[in-house]
């Protein structure tokens, strides 16, 4: 069901991806970076680091957290929960030294379930260079300027699931998009980035919560991606069992494809962001569910007409992969790396890489970076023929966040610190 708010003037400025990437050349403004695909044009990132090597600075954080930092100019922004989620903050640091510039706490005293691995505030911030938007789950959606002044806030109501929420907001043109859920109240929302007012809302089946003895586990923690394919803007999102593409301006469904869950399965979970090229969209179910590739350019239900392939079962997948050329590179939750042909879904190789991993893959200069829960960051070559590990770097602190990179620096958020990793500055 789609709800349209006709009183709001929608003027979405949809530019091509090439123009977008030029404007974000040295920044990491959002979940998965400037193009929402885990790819960076950085060429001077460190290959190796440790607590004593290639550390520009580190600062203590007030508690554990999963959100990935964003970087814009001389500012770094992340979200942080404290006091068992009763206080949820947006925190801004100076990039040069890691100095705290401002912190904006929001008090939320109502009960909200989550999992021990999801200490609230797991959604990453997003910025367009003028405003910062953050989702604090049941506490609301907030917008600040770079001085920390609140521009608007939205109370979206309760978000209730035993594993909490984690999807990050997305800014594109004049709109902010948010996958609100999972839980019985699940919807995709577009608001005006200037005012926070509703533009459109697409409701989705919420399903069960996994609690009180319910046999079903249903939910999407997927962050949507906005792309232009063949001249048509599309907002693509993986729901429980189904992938859908929306018109970003109106919320109309452009196409949908089923098959992300196992046959006759009561568990329909998805965590990853869709992977997109001009030719194919790849979606991956979680918790052992199916994964599939869809030919672009379709309309309506394209399950039969445009679904290129479907693999019925996969390892648990939480972090998202990257597409390079004709291949997908992926690191699964158990710590196995894979290379896959996106045209066919054929797995070319699977190798043990590290321990349990939730982080997204990051690609820069032919290298792939990921970080395990125990703080081991592994760098390996983007080689479709075999796994080729280039470096293993251990920061002995728990981390469930992904790496952010900008202007030769890697930002690693652990449960204890925010680290800035870089080669020594030239003298």
Sign, CA torsion 112/114/119/121: negative
Sign, CA torsion 384/385/390/393: positive
How do beta strands 70-72 and 376-381 pair? Answer: unpaired
Give the residue among 334, 371, 349, 247 at the shortest CA–CA distance from 299: 247
- Domain membership flag for residue 146: yes
Sign, CA torsion 302/303/309/313: positive
- Domain membership flag for residue 389: no
Residues 142-151: what's their mean pLDDT? 99
- Domain membership flag for residue 345: no
- Domain membership flag for residue 409: no
Residue 207's pLDDT is what? 62
What is the extent of the structural domain holding 142? Answer: 8-41+69-221
- Domain membership flag for residue 383: no
Count of domains for the chain: 1
- The answer to whether 216 and 158 are in contact (CB under 8 A) is no
- The answer to whether 391 and 47 are in contact (CB under 8 A) is yes
CATH number, position 83: 2.40.128.630
Residue 19, helix vs strand vs coil = helix
- Domain membership flag for residue 235: no
Lookup result for tokens 């699964």: 332
pLDDT surpasses 70 at 265? no
Q: Residue 244 is encoded by which pair of tokens?
A: 């859908």
Q: What is the pLDDT of residues 237-257, one digit of tens each?
A: 999 989 999 999 999 999 999
- Domain membership flag for residue 385: no
Residue 93's pLDDT is what? 99
Residue 335's pLDDT is what? 97
Residue 93, helix vs strand vs coil = strand
pLDDT surpasses 50 at 274? yes
- Domain membership flag for residue 46: no
Q: What is the pLDDT of residues 190-248, one digit of tens each?
A: 999 999 999 999 999 876 555 555 657 789 999 999 999 999 999 999 999 899 999 99
């Amino acid at each position: 069901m789609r709800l349209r708010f006709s009183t709001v003037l929608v003027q979405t400025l949809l530019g091509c991806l090439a123009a977008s990437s030029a404007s974000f050349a040295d920044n990491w403004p959002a979940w998965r970076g400037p193009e929402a695909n885990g790819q960076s044009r950085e060429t001077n990132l460190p290959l190796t680091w440790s607590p004593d090597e290639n550390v520009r600075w580190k600062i203590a954080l007030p508690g554990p957290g999963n959100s990935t930092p964003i970087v814009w100019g001389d500012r770094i922004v992340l979200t942080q929960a404290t006091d068992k989620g009763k206080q949820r903050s947006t925190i801004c640091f100076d990039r040069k030294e890691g100095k705290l510039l401002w912190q904006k706490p929001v008090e939320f005293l109502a009960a909200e379930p989550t999992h021990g691995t999801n200490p609230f505030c797991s959604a990453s911030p997003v910025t367009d260079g003028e405003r910062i938007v953050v989702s604090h789950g049941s506490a609301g959606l907030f917008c600040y300027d770079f001085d920390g002044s609140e521009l608007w806030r939205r109370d979206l109501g309760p978000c209730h699931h035993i594993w909490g929420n984690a999807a990050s907001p997305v800014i594109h043109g004049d709109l902010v998009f948010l996958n609100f859920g999972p839980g019985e109240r699940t919807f995709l929302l577009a608001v005006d980035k200037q005012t926070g007012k509703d533009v459109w809302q697409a409701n989705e089946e919420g399903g069960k919560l996994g609690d009180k003895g319910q046999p079903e586990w249903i939910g999407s923690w997927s962050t949507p991606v906005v792309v232009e394919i063949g001249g048509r803007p599309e907002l693509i999102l993986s729901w429980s069992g189904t992938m859908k593409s929306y018109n970003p301006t109106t919320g109309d469904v452009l196409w949908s494809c089923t098959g992300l869950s196992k046959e006759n399965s009561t568990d329909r979970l998805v965590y990853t962001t869709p992977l997109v090229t001009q030719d194919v969209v790849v979606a991956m179910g979680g918790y052992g569910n199916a994964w599939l590739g869809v030919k672009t350019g379709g309309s309506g239900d394209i399950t039969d007409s445009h679904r290129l392939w479907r693999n019925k079962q996969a390892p648990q997948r939480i972090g998202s992969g990257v597409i390079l050329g004709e291949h997908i590179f992926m690191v699964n939750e158990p710590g196995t790396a894979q290379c896959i042909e996106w045209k066919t879904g054929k797995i070319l190789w699977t190798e043990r890489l590290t321990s349990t991993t939730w982080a997204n893959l990051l690609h820069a200069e032919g290298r792939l970076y990921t970080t395990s829960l125990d703080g081991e960051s592994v760098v390996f070559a983007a080689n479709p023929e075999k796994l080729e590990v280039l470096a293993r770097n251990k920061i002995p602190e728990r981390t469930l966040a992904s790496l952010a990179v900008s202007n030769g620096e890697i930002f690693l958020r652990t449960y204890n610190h925010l680290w800035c990793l870089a080669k020594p500055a030239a003298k």
